[in-house]
Amino acid sequence: MGFTCALLAVSIICVTLFATAQNESNSTPASSNVRGAQSPRVFTDGRVSFSLKAPDATTVQIGGPFPGAPFPMTKNTEGVWTVTIPPIVPGFHYYWFVVDGVQMNDPGSSTYFGYGKETSGIEVPEHGVDFYSVKDVPHGEVREHWYLSKTTGDWRRCFVYTPPGYDKSSSVHYPVLILQHGSGEDETGWTRQGKANFILDNLLVEGKVKPMIVVMDRGYATRAGKEPVNFGPGSSQHNFREAFSAFEDVVIKDLIPTIDSSYRTIPDRNHRAIAGLSTGGMQTLFIAPRHLDQFAYIGSFSGPIIPGLNAGGQPASGNSRPQFDTKTAFDGAFADPPAFNKRVKLFWFGVGTEEPQFRGSIKGAADALRAAGVNLVYFESLGTAHEWQTWRRDLHDFAPRLFQ
Amino acid sequence: MGFTCALLAVSIICVTLFATAQNESNSTPASSNVRGAQSPRVFTDGRVSFSLKAPDATTVQIGGPFPGAPFPMTKNTEGVWTVTIPPIVPGFHYYWFVVDGVQMNDPGSSTYFGYGKETSGIEVPEHGVDFYSVKDVPHGEVREHWYLSKTTGDWRRCFVYTPPGYDKSSSVHYPVLILQHGSGEDETGWTRQGKANFILDNLLVEGKVKPMIVVMDRGYATRAGKEPVNFGPGSSQHNFREAFSAFEDVVIKDLIPTIDSSYRTIPDRNHRAIAGLSTGGMQTLFIAPRHLDQFAYIGSFSGPIIPGLNAGGQPASGNSRPQFDTKTAFDGAFADPPAFNKRVKLFWFGVGTEEPQFRGSIKGAADALRAAGVNLVYFESLGTAHEWQTWRRDLHDFAPRLFQ
């Protein structure tokens, strides 16, 4: 039947086309693989094996944010390149192949939006830890919601988590957490990489968290008719402010109104939180102190503290350590700590212990704020880096403190 | 500030890292690109240009379901490979690079689940056609819904479109369309590639369609404790039946009950439709006639007619043309056409005129069924192939005929 070849030659069951299984008994295909893909595989001790068929390639490597990367792969007589890398820390990691200098995705992996593009990812289980697993508990929904932004002039997509039972009553109203992704990621990150919906489902069934709506928007915004503002390498703090300011208007003028008119929210500051990871943390720390009439709960997950943006004082130059000035930081929001403490019910900083590039300044800012009398919760994720396992743990600590 | 390099070196604004813009005045970046990517570009006449930086590669090609593919690319002095391919038919097309024999995604493209893995895709606009565009109209939501399947023993994800206004009233109940993807695709296909949500939003605002809930499930199912059944190349019709039978149980025993208990449906056959594209059409034609107590509306979009599965008679061998037998086809569902017509309110076949591998047998079956007295709507999509533009047009014709 010729048509079955035409139709089904690409059947996903035939996954061995690109990936050769390494049927080692103490390893299993990663849960982040596409259905049926036998590679990559995760070993019980945290090692990971990768494979790619590329008979004509001269060099193939595994790249990613693992210590020791890139890892060279070796080719067998059938043209299949393989490598097993040393144990990596549990959690979700982006990765990629580099084939003769060209970066490419692994056909065996699902893709996740990171680094400004679709990127392969691998999930390494953490033994005995299941707070972000899909379990036999009531599940909320993650809804794709489209809205027209006056700020940007275009239709934007956000995702909205509604808790289990949301549709069972038309009279219950809920508080709202706005939860933002990091640089190079997008509005899919918190559920796909972060598993925020399962974290909340699981906390809810344990009675540890208030039922809430979680809004995950796209952290990029360009004002209608304007060119995008570059806040990448070499940009000045001015560009951070300018880039964040368009997103600030989206959140305050477009997103909050559309959420409050579309969902059964409790539309006041005492029932609205904002948090974000990395650049999303920077955005949170830029937006929230300027709009304390909108937010009573504020969280920054590995959000860099930046001179001239949110550290107060003057912009530092080169690689000098930022000077954190509690009087002028965050546009002076902490100049009067008792007044801030009265207004803000939760101010929360988190960072992984393996984030040398951020931990010092984040802990320094937290220490300085607390010394000045600001109530602040400081959380460290042991052994994790500037990656999603840190931010899953952050959400798991942060969410139960909201709306209590 | 070293940390900005660490943090933002991957900023999505720096998209020129992999793709070099071809700033030709009569072309624009494809709408299927990731934000900011300048390549691929679509020309007003339907030509498409692609580019990839790969200085060390010996050959680079563009592959995909276009006439004439694969297309060789040529390298400039900076190591950037480019090609502009002849005009291709409007709509969504999968594509990929082949770099020294290795298939890889385009970092400038979003990815779409097809061919059993994440694959690049390009959207070529159809002039004057906007029935699947996001417009300034009320939008429904697409909800990620998780449910535990007794059939498979695992948690499954489906997507559920709820029409605009669903949350505004707690008393309105809706009919349900179950809408399935094709082989190698998944439950994301109908909204990401197919834009089913926008098609329905637009039809609704024009008053051409009844408000309905659309359920898009994952068409793969393996019975708990069993090995997956291969229905790929070389498989017998027995395997189709066996593979589809697990999915049949998921639909009838797991999916319909979870949808009816989770959403405000009208839970009877007169308010339930099932349709699918390609393999999803085969699944529809396998499931629906066996469960006419559940469905009054049936649609097959480019669904192959297979001897021994749904064509009646004996399985054909080799490439012989299937014999369609109206008495035994579909397990005898049409042996009594008047009875069938009384029971089934819509029986709908569609196919693209550029589907030589399927059009003959689908039209042949439609003609035979109509000659035997079966009421059947037969729709042809002019000039389109076994691709999503055909299936978007199918939905646009099919949906308004439902629940009237």
- ipTM comes to 0.91
Residue B402 confidence (pLDDT): 98
For the stretch B177-203, pLDDT in tens is: 999 999 999 999 999 999 999 999 999
Residue B160 has pLDDT above 50, yes or no: yes
Question: pTM of the prediction?
Answer: 0.92
Residue A235 confidence (pLDDT): 65
Query: In chain B, where are the structural domains located?
Result: 13-124, 141-401
Q: Which residues of A touch B102 (CB under 8 A)?
A: 52-54, 56-57, 99, 104
- pLDDT tens digit at each of 404 positions of chain A: 333 333 333 333 333 333 334 446 799 999 999 999 999 999 999 999 999 999 999 999 999 998 999 999 999 999 999 999 999 999 999 999 999 999 999 999 999 999 999 999 999 999 999 999 999 999 999 999 999 999 999 999 999 999 999 999 889 999 999 999 999 999 999 999 999 999 999 999 999 999 999 999 999 999 999 988 876 656 666 788 888 999 999 999 999 999 999 999 999 999 999 999 999 999 999 999 999 999 999 999 999 998 767 777 655 454 445 578 888 888 888 899 999 999 999 999 999 999 999 999 999 999 999 999 999 999 999 999 999 999 999 999 999 999 99
**Residue contacts between A and B (CB atoms, under 8 Å):** 237
Q: Which residues of A touch B18 (CB under 8 A)?
A: 103, 117
* CATH for A14-124, options being 2.40.37.10, 2.60.120.330, 2.60.40.10, 3.10.20.30: 2.60.40.10
Residue B5 has pLDDT above 50, yes or no: no
Give the whole-angstrom CA distance, residue B7 versus residue B10: 7
Q: How confident is the model at residue B2 (pLDDT cuts 50, 70, 90)?
A: very low
- When pLDDT is averaged across residues B46-58 and rounded to a whole number, the result is 96
Residue A313 confidence (pLDDT): 63
Burial of B332-364, coded b for 16+ CB within 10 Å and e otherwise, reads ebbeebeebeeebbbbbbbbbebbebbbebbeb
Closest CB to B144 among A141, A278, A307:
A141
Please count the other Cβ atoms lying within 10 Å of the Cβ belonging to residue B203: 18
What is the chain B residue with the closest CA to A140?
B145
Give the mean pLDDT of chain B: 90
Test A231 with B13 for CB contact under 8 angstroms. Answer: yes
Contact A176, A194 (CB under 8 A): no
**Min Cα separation B246/chain A (Å):** 15
For the stretch B322-368, pLDDT in tens is: 578 888 888 888 899 999 999 999 999 999 999 999 999 999 999 99
At a CB cut-off of 8 Å and minimum separation 6, what does A268 contact? Answer: none
Q: Which residues of B touch A113 (CB under 8 A)?
A: 34
* CATH topology assigned to domain B141-401: Rossmann fold (3.40.50)
For A31, the token pair is 């849960």
Residue A332 confidence (pLDDT): 87
Residue A322 confidence (pLDDT): 52
For the stretch B219-235, pLDDT in tens is: 999 999 998 887 765 66
For B195, the token pair is 């834009």
Q: How confident is the model at residue B9 (pLDDT cuts 50, 70, 90)?
A: very low
**Min Cα separation B386/chain A (Å):** 9
Test A183 with B11 for CB contact under 8 angstroms. Answer: yes
Higher-pLDDT residue of A13, B315: B315
Q: A7-11, A306-310, B164-168, B279-283: which range is least confident on average?
A: A7-11
Test B102 with A103 for CB contact under 8 angstroms. Answer: no
Q: Is residue A365 within a helix (H) or strand (E), and if so which, with residue range?
A: helix A356-371
Only one residue has tokens 């994301």, namely B188
Residue B310 confidence (pLDDT): 75
Test A233 with B104 for CB contact under 8 angstroms. Answer: no
Residue B332 confidence (pLDDT): 87
For the stretch B85-109, pLDDT in tens is: 999 999 999 999 999 999 999 999 9
Test A318 with B1 for CB contact under 8 angstroms. Answer: yes
Closest CB to B105 among A110, A118, A183:
A118
Tell which of B13, B95, B309 to mutate to test the A interface (max A CBs under 10 Å). Answer: B13
Residue A45 confidence (pLDDT): 93
Please give the class, per CATH, of domain B13-124.
mainly beta
Higher-pLDDT residue of A21, B313: B313
